[in-house]
Amino acid sequence: DAKTTQPPSMDCAEGRAANLPCNHSTISGNEYVYWYRQIHSQGPQYIIHGLKNNETNEMASLIITEDRKSSTLILPHATLRDTAVYYCIVRGGSQGNLIFGKGTKLSVKP
């Protein structure tokens, strides 16, 4: 699976948009970009995924660059409950599993 690079930590003010970057320069053409988050002592929660088009759901938006080498997860109005570790994962392989990197620890501050 392609590897991803994320900043180890970010801060965001409550109510503002949180923009979390991810680099995946070695992504293959058929690999998807997935975002999960993990709140302390819980299992990972699925947020959003995409192949090449930008995606939006009730939780977030995913912006993927045209060359697919990077993406940005956008939480439009961050709340304190969005404080978590966010994982950007490129998914492929024969078993469909997810390989987790270190993620970005997002701290939303009042």
Partner 1 sequence: GAVVSQHPSWVICKSGTSVKIECRSLDFQATTMFWYRQFPKQSLMLMATSNEGSKATYEQGVEKDKFLINHASLTLSTLTVTSAHPEDSSFYICSALMEWSSYNSPLHFGNGTRLTVT
Closest to partner 1 by CB, 7 vs 14, is 7
Q: Does 34 bind partner 1 (CB under 8 A)?
A: yes
Nearer to partner 1, 3 or 77 (CB): 3
Q: CA 14, CA 2: separation in Å to the nearest integer?
A: 33
Q: Is 9 in the site for partner 1 (CB under 8 A)?
A: no
CA distance 36 to 67: 22
Q: For binding to partner 1 (CB under 8 A), which residues are involved? A: 30-32, 34, 36, 38, 41-46, 49, 51, 87, 91-92, 95-103
